[in-house]
């Protein structure tokens, strides 16, 4: 069955006509803030405001969990149109999400989590993503649309003494709805402008007295927001389909086995950038963007205003992202005090891209693609014991990942003029760089095993001490083999080698090609044991007032560079740059969690301070020899700040919420950071040591000036994080009747704001993204049978930027822009049965 046919079937299955005669559920579903009750329960004002989470691998009231955690129910996600992790950031102020495409996706919490600006298979994420206890190692494999979600818990701070994979910044814990032994189902259809269409359907019920199943599917389709004038089509579209199934087998009253499987496909026309701006660099003037464009008479970008949402990229575009997997979850309640849990899972990821990495309509690079396949296997075993005045969790975790990337980079007929010095006669000969081809074989075998434990000891009925420990072993074996070939001056194809004396090394054409890219081979390896630990203290000041404090010593495992490394004077890869050291994290946190007004109101406040030594960052320096970008360690980074969350439900007729965060995340010491665009491209001054060089750096943007091999970024902000971020909203409802049915008329509003932030690994005057706010509205009528509402997102059509980056070469002065969504609007129909 073709994808188009499958999507059509799912949209039809979710259409209102199919379930027009369906039986209603038992109660209407109220929608509230991120502290809302779970679907199907009474509103908070009536049930005491208790929200149960499993953030610490056991059920407990979120107000008694001594860590910073945000909880969003499935009902809230549906009401606000939050159907993927990207949109979750509007509800969680300290969560940041950036995506050029699924593979080049980064998730940070409090400004830390993943190196910004470089995708590399050889490092770990600092933010763990779990769906039904299964760890998703690649962020690209977690960019699926949510379906049948019960709740999402976002935990801030290091996690590892309770979670399968060690993470230093936090974890996103997604729980889907379990199979039910009562027949139930729901269907949902949304339509909107930009040809937006989305359908969701879920059915659950018994197969026998001890077997129950749940089947869910979702499909999303939307026209692109960026128009390509060269091809006459809209790009940056949404085109995804996902199915998920689970089978619950109650083997006996104390033993449950749940088998789950899912398959997801995203295949949009994507991804490209529009022209953002021009910022002078230190390249000579005849090699900067205005001069380069002038070498191609008749060429001009379709618009210099990024908010016109126009581009003219000429290379093929593709972002096919397929992923799925199987899991088995066994829960054995040995007795009233002991429980054994086992989670076995396999996941795969198949990434098939096509990109235009020169961001122009000129054939500079015709291909820069890295198709990737991954297989991931995980096994987690947890033992929980509930004792008299204490409870204990012990766990074992095993992880193995195999990644194979077959990359290709190819230059076109415009490459000679664009990439070579125009004072050279070779720049006027398209044949010199045309069809310079790099075929990359990149491999990673990654194994991790760990043992962890957490104790909660009730010293008194008010004071609880919770120490935890983790022992971890990681082993990475990699291979990077890039074979570059080009046409020599005699018309033969030759390997472009960086090794002096190699065949055709002195050929002028080959020498020019070597300046763009040369062959390289190395096999990096890393292995290490690590220990981490934490201590949580919680004191119940009064019935609904808890204070807590946390110290955690965590780590993020070391990594290997799998995007190439600098070469020495003899052309050999410098293996000292092939591995990166583990991050060492000292994390302090203190907070207060309160409820008052008969638990109608909740207010939580958290302060945090995180120091990271050997922070894994993107660098570009000349301390080893050739200037090249790769992963390395910044000496020290700090993230500190505070977070506040408030929600109130004075009655079943009204609820509101507000969350805010101040985050001061900066490089404490980073003396060999990559130069920003305004200081790059000139004559590179010679490095005299790890963080020293000789000569005088020219003023920023000085054409033909002197550029540093690196800069001291100490004291500057980390990329991707706003100092201030807020989210807020409210909903009011009134009882009434529509279509002869009794229910609730309601209106809701949700807003978010973030201040300006740096979109470059080292802060640049050209890539500082301005702050912005987004405002969303919804209004409708709901009963136990149906929910009918209209919505408008980015209601005031705010122009904003998702991402800015320096164009090809990083020093031509071209700044490419990824523009955020314009105003969108539409309607949704939900049916329950």
Residue 116: pLDDT band (50, 70, 90) is confident
- How far apart (Å, rounded) are the C-alpha atoms in residues 659 and 657? 7
Helix, strand or coil for residue 819? strand
Compute the 3-state secondary structure of the chain and give helix, strand, coil in percent, each to the nearest 5. 10, 55, 40
pLDDT, tens digit (0-9, with 9 covering 90-100), for 178-226: 999 999 999 999 999 999 999 999 999 999 999 999 999 999 999 999 9
- How far apart (Å, rounded) are the C-alpha atoms in residues 711 and 729? 43
Rg over CA atoms, the chain? 27
**Which pLDDT belongs to residue 324?**
95
Query: Contact 114/107 with Cβ under 8 angstroms?
Result: yes
pLDDT, tens digit (0-9, with 9 covering 90-100), for 69-110: 888 888 888 878 777 787 788 888 988 888 888 888 888 999
Residues 6+ apart with CB under 8 A from 725: 93, 94, 660, 661, 663, 752, 753, 754, 755
Query: Contact 587/609 with Cβ under 8 angstroms?
Result: yes
Please check the confidence at residue 488 and state whether its pLDDT lies above 50.
yes
Distance of CA 459 to the CA centre of its chain: 40
Helix, strand or coil for residue 513? helix
Distance of CA 534 to the CA centre of its chain: 26
**Which pLDDT belongs to residue 700?**
96
User: Which of 66-75, 405-414, 468-477 bottoms out in mean pLDDT, i.e. has the lowest?
Assistant: 66-75
- Count Cβ neighbours within 10 Å for each residue of 662-681 and write b for 16 or more, e otherwise: bbbbbbebbbbbbbbbbbbb
Q: Where are the beta strands (DSSP E) in 557-703?
A: 559-560, 579-580, 583-596, 601-621, 628-651, 654-669, 683-684, 687-689, 692-693
pLDDT, tens digit (0-9, with 9 covering 90-100), for 562-602: 988 888 888 889 888 899 999 999 999 999 999 999 999 99
The mean pLDDT of 615-643, rounded to a whole number, is 75
Residue 58: pLDDT band (50, 70, 90) is low
What is the largest distance, in Å, between two alpha-carbon atoms of the chain? 87
**E strand or H helix that includes residue 804:** strand 801-806
Please check the confidence at residue 23 and state whether its pLDDT lies above 60.
no
255-266 and 687-689 strand pairing: unpaired
Residues 6+ apart with CB under 8 A from 672: 619, 621, 623, 632, 690, 691, 710
- How far apart (Å, rounded) are the C-alpha atoms in residues 715 and 508? 44
Please check the confidence at residue 27 and state whether its pLDDT lies above 70.
no
DSSP per residue over 615-632, as a string? Answer: EEEEEEESSSSS-EEEEE
Please check the confidence at residue 823 and state whether its pLDDT lies above 90.
yes
Please check the confidence at residue 2 and state whether its pLDDT lies above 50.
no
pLDDT, tens digit (0-9, with 9 covering 90-100), for 219-264: 999 999 999 999 999 999 999 999 999 999 999 999 999 999 999 9
- How far apart (Å, rounded) are the C-alpha atoms in residues 759 and 771? 12
Domains of the chain: 3-832 (2.40.170.20)
Query: Contact 214/175 with Cβ under 8 angstroms?
Result: no
Query: Contact 270/235 with Cβ under 8 angstroms?
Result: yes
Query: Contact 539/518 with Cβ under 8 angstroms?
Result: no
Count Cβ atoms within 10 A of the Cβ of residue 461 and give its class: 0-12 exposed, 13-18 middle, 19 or more buried: exposed
Tell me which residue of 733, 542, 737, 592 sits closest to 649, measured CA to CA. Answer: 733
């Amino acid at each position: 069955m073709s994808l188009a046919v499958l999507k059509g079937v799912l949209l039809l299955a979710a259409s209102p006509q199919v379930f027009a005669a369906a039986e209603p559920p038992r109660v209407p579903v109220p929608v509230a803030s991120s502290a809302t009750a779970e679907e199907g329960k009474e509103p908070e004002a009536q049930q005491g405001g208790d929200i149960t989470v499993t953030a610490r691998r056991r059920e407990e009231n979120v107000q008694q969990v001594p860590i910073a955690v945000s909880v969003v129910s499935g009902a809230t996600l549906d009401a606000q149109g939050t159907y993927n992790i990207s949109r979750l950031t509007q509800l969680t102020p300290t969560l940041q999400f950036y995506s050029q495409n699924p593979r080049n996706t980064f998730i940070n919490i409090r400004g830390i989590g993943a190196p910004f600006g470089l995708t590399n298979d050889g490092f770990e994420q600092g933010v763990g993503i779990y769906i039904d206890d299964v760890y998703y190692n690649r962020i690209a494999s977690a960019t699926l649309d949510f379906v049948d979600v019960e709740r999402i818990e976002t935990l801030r701070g290091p996690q590892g003494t309770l979670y399968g994979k060690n993470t230093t910044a936090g974890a996103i814990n997604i729980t889907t709805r379990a199979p039910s032994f009562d027949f139930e189902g729901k269907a949902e259809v949304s339509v909107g402008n930009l040809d937006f269409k989305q359908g969701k359907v879920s059915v659950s019920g018994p197969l026998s007295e001890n077997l129950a199943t749940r089947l869910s599917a979702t499909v999303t389709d939307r026209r692109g927001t960026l128009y390509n004038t060269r091809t006459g089509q809209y790009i940056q579209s949404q085109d995804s389909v996902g199915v998920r199934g689970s089978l619950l087998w109650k083997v006996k009253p104390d033993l449950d086995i749940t088998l789950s499987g899912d398959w997801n496909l995203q295949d949009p026309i994507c991804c490209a950038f529009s022209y953002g701006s021009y910022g002078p660099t230190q390249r000579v003037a005849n090699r900067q963007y205005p001069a380069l464009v002038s070498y191609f008479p008749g060429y001009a970008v379709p618009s210099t205003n990024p908010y016109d949402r126009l581009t003219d990229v000429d290379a093929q575009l593709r972002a096919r992202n397929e992923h799925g997997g199987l899991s088995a979850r066994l829960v054995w309640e040995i007795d009233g005090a002991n429980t054994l849990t086992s989670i076995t899972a396999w996941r795969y990821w198949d990434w098939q891209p096509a990109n235009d990495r020169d961001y122009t309509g000129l054939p500079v690079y015709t291909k820069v693609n890295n198709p990737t396949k991954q297989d991931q296997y995980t096994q987690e075993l947890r033992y929980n014991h509930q004792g008299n005045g204490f409870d204990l969790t012990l766990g074992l975790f095993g992880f193995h990942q195999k990644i194979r990337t077959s990359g290709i980079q190819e230059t076109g007929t415009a490459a000679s003029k664009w990439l070579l010095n125009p004072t050279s006669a070779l720049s006027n000969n398209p044949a010199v760089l045309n069809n310079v081809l790099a075929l990359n074989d990149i491999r990673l075998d990654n194994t991790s095993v760990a043992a962890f434990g957490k104790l909660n000891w009730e010293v008194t009925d008010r004071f609880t001490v919770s120490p935890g420990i983790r022992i971890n072993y990681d082993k990475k074996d990699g291979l990077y083999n890039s074979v570059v070939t080009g046409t020599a001056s005699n018309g033969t194809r030759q390997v472009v080698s960086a090794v002096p004396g190699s065949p055709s090394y002195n050929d002028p054409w080959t020498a020019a090609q070597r300046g763009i890219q040369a062959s390289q081979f190395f096999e990096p390896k890393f292995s290490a044991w690590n220990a981490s630990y934490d201590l949580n203290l919680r004191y119940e000041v009064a019935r609904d007032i808890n204070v807590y404090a946390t110290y955690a010593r965590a780590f993020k495992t070391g990594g290997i560079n799998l995007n190439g490394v600098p070469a020495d004077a003899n052309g050999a890869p410098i293996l000292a740059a092939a591995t990166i050291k583990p991050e060492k994290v000292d994390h302090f946190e203190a907070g207060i969690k309160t409820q008052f007004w008969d638990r109608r109101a909740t207010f939580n406040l958290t302060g945090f301070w995180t120091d990271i030594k050997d922070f894994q960052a993107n660098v570009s320096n000349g301390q080893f020899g050739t200037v090249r970008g790769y992963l390395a360690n910044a000496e020290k980074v700090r993230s500190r700040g505070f977070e506040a969350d408030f929600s109130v439900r004075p009655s079943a007729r009204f609820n509101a919420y507000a969350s805010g965060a101040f985050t001061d995340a900066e490089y404490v010491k980073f003396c060999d950071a990559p130069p920003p665009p305004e200081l790059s491209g000139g004559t590179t001054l010679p490095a005299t040591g790890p963080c020293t060089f000789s000569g005088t750096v020219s003023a920023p943007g000085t054409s033909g000036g002197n550029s540093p091999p690196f800069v001291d970024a100490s004291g500057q902000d980390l990329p991707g994080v706003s100092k201030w971020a807020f989210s807020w909203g409210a909903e009011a409802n009134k009882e009434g009747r529509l279509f002869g049915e009794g229910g609730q008329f309601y209106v809701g509003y949700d807003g978010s704001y973030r201040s300006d932030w740096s979109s470059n690994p080292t802060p640049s005057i050209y890539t500082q993204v301005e702050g912005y706010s987004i405002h969303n509205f919804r209004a409708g009528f709901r009963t136990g049978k149906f929910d009918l509402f209209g919505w408008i997102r980015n209601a005031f059509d705010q122009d904003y930027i998702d991402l800015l980056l320096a164009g090809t070469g990083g020093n031509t002065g071209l700044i490419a822009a990824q523009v955020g969504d314009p105003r969108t609007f539409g309607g949704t129909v939900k049916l329950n049965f």
